[in-house]
């Protein structure tokens, strides 16, 4: 069995890693860290772990000292991963970093959005872990930067358009909507039930930190600079993300041609489904699964292409994708542990 | 007291009219119709009406024959209002029609989206009841077409931009999100709790019927043709609507200039609030009130203006706006019965 | 106009007082305090107050020094009301205390559940503000202890049974369920959307602090000691409370007799409705209103009476009841400002 | 691979069977029936089945004629299972019936609650499929009556008390709360989002059909007649069920003694967890898993025992339990396919 460590195991991406890995046929959880609950057992935080699946929660330092694993998942706040990743790599442990620390290739761009980078030397070693774009590099990587939830949703939804004739890819308008688990597990007034239930609202209208990540990857795919105009909103639900994307038509394209581009691009992808005509993405149809559903539409009347993607922000947008990356890094079947159907209703 | 009739009183816009009118100082509910529950009393459908506020439910025909009122609200499905409106007008009753039947000036456009119009002669007599645009005409109207929820949200959110220099108003991209009450009160699988709770999804991506209504009114304001690229989505909540709108910049505009345009336009409007810098529209802040909150933003980096509006689809998007129109038609204070604060949390 | 002060105006009972009082024909809000937001304006916390309804937020001390009102609502945490109430009374201001500080007549009982009382001398001056039980005393009171939400729900639901023959009132079993707003407005993990949405759970199974309050009042009504076995649960919704109560039958009672007892007791009560046969209490039918819906059932097969009540914990369970008490204390019509229909859906 | 048939595959228990069986290592879905969607493919109803997991939907008659399986799950309305079960058994297919048709041993009792039984001869062959009570009989059964969701929750929560000294088991008071999926997948007004979200309400206060089932099994365990006073309520959430049960103390019992009884009873049960002191059942901790969490409390002050259980009504309350029964009937490991952790948050 491959021995996995989870740093930051008591947050939502951490507990989702526990859920996924506990059904993984070739991986076992070797240990976990939690700043807030170090010294207690996992079942004290998550009562459903009581029994055979319980394990002690360490501080990050204790976990590094005490337990040697094969691969570490870093489900930590931005800024905390860099130094830790360096130490883990030095001791021969492969790393999947779920924070933003390793996602941007350019330390200066990182500094503009997050502050000075703490381990810029690592950026060259990190592979951006979107398997649908960088699969072969992920296979040989020792350090994978797991993409953000919004970038996964946007890149998968728009990638097939990036090299099509007749579409203006200079600027993509992205109107995105996320479930509340995307805001993390800390107690905050604006994510309390009474303030966020029966509420829908935009946030960070100018300058969300996921913007440069989307631009970096879409530009890579397009082979030239792509800008993203990005507006995130908060949904009154726990999990689920929809990105609705708008690109201007420069010349006529048929719906059939568009669909064919998507189907070609994703034919062999295990975790992307192009929906048939008449079916639209719905977060309820991907919840709890590692699947991303996409549809694409052409509005000839106004001259715009509309692409829509739906995924579960904690699975394909975070922990499921992280396991998918780990599978590739460790030479396992890419879909191992990730084949569960969504949780409906 | 002004005597109001409510046709279709057992749907969501009907019961919201009951709620609003029951607090109106100058109006009383003289009678109501319900196709499904005719012959029963209102409290059998809505137990909270038991007591002094109960009243019998008639069929539409019975109500016309039995009760003479001063004004009638038609909260009926599209296609059922036209003939009824004619009869009510003939007997001297003013009409606020909440269906789509009277909203489009051009019967041919109506036919494209809804089928042949049943009373095209009435279209010339109908005033589009968005007081913020057509207030003076509403004051003297006998027949008011109450706007759709999406059009109210979009027109109020974008109107101040329609005549500004430097903004491309040829096409507006509208990404809109509505609470489930907008789908009406019928029992449908896709609006059941289990299918629509913890779910978010687009619908009618190409060709929602509210599109021509938005285009008609925005073109009127702009003084030239405006096209709307409209994508509605369904939110897992009962009430509330946000429209996020995107317009391309043709030359630089400052945030201050944009805000000033909104503040000038809405300075004297009782039911539109331009939010201060740092505050964004949130459906939770307008729920149950007749208020529309708007904000406007300029993204210089990508060259787009983003305008956002939030309202309660059953109040400012339907029944509250209908009462606002009635107040104007009957010579009452425009805000009468509509001054309640939102219901928070 | 009567000038009202609201201490603790930025919590949920505080903002609900704003909502109710803003529609009250004879009361104006003269000032408000907030520990957390003192120095800011109310609209910074609640954007819907922007405009004429905005007002400055003071510290408690500043508010006492600066603004003289006729009546003060204390929407403060337990333990903070006592000393403040004394000072306000001394300066001739009537007080409605929404905390638990004045509810128990016996300082020793208070001490067992809350710790030592800070102003035990006040207990004799305080009237327990459940108008359906103590209306005449409330009329002449200078200090009213506004009941807890659970006690209001339980006392109204069970009162008519307390003196009926054939019912064992020694012990009442109360299985109660509350919306999340009852837990207050602080940011806590267990009331975050992700932890409390799609979740239902009991809490404080042995020893909830509202128990002695229920026992005090039910014993008063019964004229002999009544014990309450009380189990509260947390519902995944913002507002609403249902108490399901079980009392053992000692001899046969007909459903008609039971219903008659309820109807007699509540015939003239403006805010309690006994539901007709076939209709059951539903929080959706009282949400936002000051109404309490009750039903009563006899299960001959097993020998138990089941009484059920539903109310909105922030209205009849807190701020609406507080306004009802104020109306009585100030000689106003008891229902003034409280006649709004519920907010449905 | 064992070949399983699912009759009624497009309801909520049907699709949950698909989800569970698709991860089961020794079972494959051989075919499914749907009255409403016969002739279409499963992915037309559930888009997430698109791809390898899609299959055609047959009418019940077609499925019987066309496909031979090893075991059939009947997820059909009450009254439809009996005749079908007979035919399947005749052709050598083992049957797990999720309807109520086979649960009551006494056809007369069945008739009182459901109407005349259509295949009373089968009742003797059916085993009540609660493995924690009848495990050995299930192993050899050809026809298993899968318990109702409420009975599973109540029997597991109360069983250890049935033979303890000092507890009055003549009558158990059960106050139960269920998520909306328990009401099935049909479109109904009272389970629409707008009517059931932000709503909590009792239903069937006198005479819910699950009552005789609970009484039958609790009486069996106790060895003498037990009556159940049962009050179900509807929760504003999709999945999850809590039963709060009250039994009168006849003599003093310590909390330790009570807990020991539960721990002894459930020590070897894979799907029942007795929670440690200080932890209470929460539907969020069992959602999506086959686990039932229970806690037990003694209130010495009032003389009552309170037992509480939580489970997912679609898993341990229906489809998960059905698979657990199938595992036993087919000689598989009891926990096969059922070991997934809950879906949190």
pLDDT tens digits, C111-150:
999 999 999 999 999 999 999 999 999 999 999 999 999 9
Q: Give the whole-angstrom CA distance, residue B173 versus residue C251.
A: 71
| Residue A300 CB neighbours (<10 A) | 12
Residues C310-327 have a mean pLDDT of 98
CB contact under 8 A, B23 and C23: yes
Q: Who among D203, D235, D244 is closest to C235 (CB)?
A: D235
Long-range (24+ apart) CB contacts under 8 A made by C106-115 are: C106/C216, C109/C212, C109/C216, C112/C212, C113/C209, C113/C211, C113/C212, C114/C78, C114/C79, C114/C209, C115/C79
What is the rounded distance in angstroms from the CA atom of residue D320 to the CA atom of residue D318?
A: 6
Helix and strand numbers, DSSP H then E, in chain C: 11, 14
Asked whether the beta carbons of residue B47 and residue C279 sit closer than 8 angstroms, the reply is yes
Tokens of B258: 């944009």
Residue C61 confidence (pLDDT): 96
Place of tokens 């994307």: A245
CA distance B277 to D312: 45
Query: Which of A49, A340, A344 is closest, CB to CB, to D23?
Result: A340
Residue B280: list chain A partners with CB under 8 A: 201-203, 205
Chain B residues lying within 8 Å of C282, measured CB to CB: 47
Q: What is the residue-averaged pLDDT of chain A?
A: 97
pLDDT value for B243: 98
pLDDT surpasses 90 at B78: no
Report CB contact under 8 Å: D288, A293: no
A30-49 mean pLDDT: 97
Residue among A291, A339, A344 whose CB faces D15 most closely: A344
Instruction: State the pLDDT at residue A23.
Output: 96
Edge-to-edge strand ranges of the sheet holding A167-178: A201-202, A227-234, A167-178, A241-249, A304-311, A292-299, A272-274
- DSSP code for B248: E
Partners of residue B193 in chain D, C-beta under 8 Å: 180, 191-193, 196-197, 236, 238
Q: Where does the pLDDT of residue B306 fall: very low under 50, low under 70, confident under 90, or very high at 90 and above?
A: very high
Nearest to A131 by CA among A324, A338, A337: A324
A68-91 pLDDT, tens digit each:
899 999 999 988 998 899 999 999
With vertex at residue C75, the alpha carbon angle to CA C72 and CA C81, rounded to the nearest 5 degrees, is 75
Could you tell me which chain C residue has the CA closest to the CA of D281? C201
- Among the listed residues B88, B149, B241, B294, the single catalytic one is B149
Q: Is D238 on the interface with C (CB under 8 A)?
A: yes
Task: Check CB contact of C53 with chain B, cutoff 8 Å.
Answer: yes
Averaged over B238-261, what is the pLDDT?
97
* Average pLDDT of the segment spanning A18-39: 97
Q: Which residues of D229-259 are buried (b: 16+ CB within 10 A; e: fewer)?
A: bbbbbbbbbbbbbbbbbbbbbeeebeeeebb
For range D292-321, the mean pLDDT: 98
Q: What are the angstrom distances between the C-alpha of A306 and each of A175, A259, A294, B201?
A: 11, 12, 11, 14
Q: pLDDT tens, D248-260?
A: 999 999 999 999 9
Task: Show residues of chain A in contact with C188, CB under 8 Å.
Answer: 187, 192
Structure confidence by residue, pLDDT tens digits, B26-43: 999 999 999 999 999 999
CB pair distance less than 8 Å for D237 and B187: no
Residue D228 and residue D158 in contact, taking contact as beta carbons nearer than 8 Å: no
Give the distance from residue A48's alpha carbon to the nearest chain D alpha carbon, in angstroms.
6
Q: How far apart are CA C188 and CA A99, in angstroms?
A: 24
Question: Under 8 Å CB-to-CB from C336, ≥6 apart: which residues?
Answer: C24, C25, C26, C327
Query: Measured between CA atoms, how close is C342 to chain D, in angstroms?
Result: 13
Q: Average pLDDT, stretch D222-247?
A: 98
Backbone angles phi, psi at A176, to 5 degrees: -115, 150
Cβ contact A192–C194 (<8 Å): no
Each residue's pLDDT tens digit, D42-76: 999 999 999 989 999 999 999 999 998 999 999 99
Residue of B nearest to A199 (CA): B284
Name the minimum distance, in Å, from the CA of A331 to any CA of chain C: 35
| A282 vs B199, B206, B282: nearest CB | B199
Which of D50, D288, D291 has its CB closest to that of A343? D288
Distance CA B218, CA B165 (A): 16
| Predicted pLDDT at A78 | 87
Q: Give the chains touching A; criterion: ≥3 Cβ pairs < 8 Å.
A: B, C, D
Q: Strands (DSSP E) along chain D, which ranges?
A: 2-7, 27-33, 57-58, 71-74, 94-97, 126-128, 143-145, 167-178, 201-202, 227-234, 241-249, 272-274, 292-299, 304-311
Instruction: Dump strand ranges (E) for B179-215.
Output: 201-202
Question: CB-based contact (8 Å) between A194 and chain C?
Answer: yes
CB atoms within 10 A of CB B246: 22
CA dist., res. D17 & res. B312, Å (int): 39
Is residue C184 less than 8 Å (CB to CB) from chain A? no
Q: What is the pLDDT of residues A179-198, one digit of tens each?
A: 999 999 999 999 999 999 99
Those residues whose C-beta lies under 8 Å from the C-beta of residue D11, and which sit 6 or more positions away, are D75, D184, D185
Residue C54 contacts B where some CB pair is shorter than 8 Å: no
Q: How far apart are CA C304 and CA D229, in angstroms?
A: 8
Annotated active-site residue in D149, D176, D261, D338: D149
The arithmetic mean of pLDDT across residues A125-149, rounded, is 98
Q: In the predicted model, is pLDDT for residue D78 greater than 90?
A: no
* Dmax (CA) of chain D: 64
D131/D142 Cα distance (integer angstroms): 15
Average pLDDT, chain D: 97
Q: What are residue C242's phi and psi, to 5 degrees?
A: -125, 130
Question: Which residues on chain C are in Cβ contact (under 8 Å) with B282?
Answer: 47
The continuous run of DSSP H or E covering B5 comes out as strand B2-7
Contacts of C344 in chain B (CB under 8 A): 15, 19, 46, 48
Q: Report whether pLDDT(C182) > 90.
A: yes
Rounded Cα distance between C166 and C168, Å, is 7
Q: What is the reported pLDDT for B188?
A: 95
| Average pLDDT value over all residues in chain C | 97
Percent with pLDDT over 90 in chain C: 97
pLDDT (average), residues C240-269: 97
- Per-residue model confidence (pLDDT) at position A260: 97
Q: Does A188 touch chain B (CB under 8 A)?
A: no
Nearest CA in chain C to A181: C194
pLDDT above 90: residue C78: no
Residues within 8 A of A (CB atoms), C 256-285 only = none
Contact A289, A16 (CB under 8 A): no
Tell me, what's the pLDDT at B307?
A: 98
Residue C231's closest CA among C262, C200, C189, C258?
Answer: C200
D336 to chain A: nearest residue by CA? A23
Give the full edge-to-edge strand order of the sheet including C201-202: C201-202, C227-234, C167-178, C241-249, C304-311, C292-299, C272-274
DSSP element (H, E) containing C19: helix C12-22
| B182: nearest Cα among B212, B151, B160 | B151
* Interface contact C180, partner A, CB < 8 A: yes
Contact B177, B235 (CB under 8 A): yes
Q: Do C48 and B275 touch (CB under 8 A)?
A: no
Angle at A102 between CA A95 and CA A56, to 5 degrees: 40
Contact assignment for D238 to B12 by CB distance below 8 Å: no
- Pairwise CB contact (< 8 Å): D344 & A50: no
Q: What is the C-alpha to C-alpha distance for residues C176 and C231, in angstroms, rounded to an integer?
A: 6
Q: Which chains touch B (3 or more CB pairs under 8 A)?
A: A, C, D
Q: Do A193 and C197 touch (CB under 8 A)?
A: yes
Whether residue A292 lies in the annotated active site? no
Output the pLDDT for position D207.
Answer: 87
pLDDT at D23 over 90: yes
Note the pLDDT tens digit of each residue in A223-240. Answer: 999 999 999 999 999 999
Average pLDDT score over residue span C170-180: 98
Q: Is the pLDDT of residue A304 over 90?
A: yes
CA C92 distance to own-chain centroid: 25
Average pLDDT over residues D284-313: 98
Average per-residue pLDDT for chain B: 97
* Residue A118 in tokens: 């703490």
- Least confident range from A207-211, B24-28, D21-25, D233-237: namely A207-211
Rounded Cα distance, B301 and B47, in Å: 55
- Asked whether the beta carbons of A133 and A155 are under 8 A apart, the reply is yes
Across the interface, which of D273, D279, D342 has its CB nearest the CB of A51?
D273
Quick one: pLDDT at residue D270?
A: 98
- CA D162-D168-D173 angle, to 5 degrees, is 85
User: Which of A74, A149, A174, A253 does the annotation list as catalytic?
Assistant: A149
Inter-chain contact D235–C233, Cβ cutoff 8 Å? Answer: no
Q: Which of D194, D195, D237, D239 best probes binding to B when mutated, by most B CB atoms within 10 angstroms? A: D194
Which chains are adjacent to chain D, needing at least 3 Cβ pairs under 8 Å? A, B, C
Whether chain B has a CB inside 8 Å of the CB on D188: the answer is: yes
User: Would the pLDDT of B207 be above 90?
Assistant: no
Q: Residue C284: which of D171, D199, D282 has the nearest Cβ?
A: D199
Cβ of C193 within 8 Å of Cβ of A238? The answer is yes
Query: C288–B285: do the CB atoms touch at under 8 Å?
Result: no
Average pLDDT over every residue of D108-122: 93
Chain A contact for D291 (CB, 8 A cutoff): yes
CB within 8 Å: D191 and B192: yes
Set out the domains of chain D in order of their start, with CATH numbers. 2-124 (3.40.50.720), 150-313 (3.30.360.10)
Nearest to B244 among A175, A237, A304 (CB): A175
ipTM score above 0.85: yes
Return the pLDDT at B190: 94
CA atoms of C107 and A233, how far apart (whole Å): 50
B344 contacts in chain C (CB < 8 Å): 15, 19, 46, 48
End-to-end CA distance of chain A: 33
Task: Please give the pLDDT value at position A79.
Answer: 87
């Amino acid at each position: 069995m491959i021995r996995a460590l989870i740093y930051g195991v008591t947050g939502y991406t951490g507990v989702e890693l526990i859920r996924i890995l506990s059904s993984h046929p070739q991986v076992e959880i070797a240990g976990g860290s939690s700043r807030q609950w170090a010294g207690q057992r996992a079942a004290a935080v998550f009562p459903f772990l009581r029994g055979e699946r319980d394990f002690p929660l360490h501080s990050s330092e204790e976990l590094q000292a005490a337990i040697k694993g094969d691969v570490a998942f870093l489900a930590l706040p931005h800024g905390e991963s860099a130094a830790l990743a360096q130490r883990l790599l030095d001791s021969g442990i492969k790393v999947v970093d779920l924070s933003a620390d390793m996602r941007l290739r350019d330390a200066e761009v990182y500094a503009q959005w997050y502050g000075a980078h703490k381990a810029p030397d690592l950026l060259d070693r990190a592979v951006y872990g979107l398997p649908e774009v960088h699969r072969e590099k992920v296979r040989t990587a020792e350090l994978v930067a797991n993409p953000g939830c919004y970038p996964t949703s946007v890149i998968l939804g728009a990638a097939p358009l990036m090299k099509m004739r007749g579409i203006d890819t200079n600027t993509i308008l992205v109107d995105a909507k996320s479930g509340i688990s995307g805001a993390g597990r800390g107690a905050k007034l604006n994510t309390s039930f009474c303030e966020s239930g029966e509420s829908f609202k935009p946030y960070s209208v100018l300058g969300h930190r996921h913007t440069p990540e989307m631009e970096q990857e879409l530009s890579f795919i397009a082979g030239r600079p792509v800008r993203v105009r990005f507006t995130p909103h908060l949904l009154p639900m726990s999990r689920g993300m929809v990105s609705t994307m708008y690109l201007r038509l420069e010349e006529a394209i048929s719906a059939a041609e568009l669909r064919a581009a998507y189907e070609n691009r994703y034919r062999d992808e295990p975790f992307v489904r192009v929906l048939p005509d008449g079916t639209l993405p719905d977060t309820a149809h991907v919840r709890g699964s590692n699947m991303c559903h996409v549809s694409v539409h052409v509005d000839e009347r106004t001259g715009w292409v509309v692409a829509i993607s739906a995924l579960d922000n904690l699975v394909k947008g975070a922990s499921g994708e992280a396991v998918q990356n780990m599978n590739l890094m460790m030479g396992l079947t890419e879909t191992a542990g990730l084949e569960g159907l969504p949780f409906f209703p």
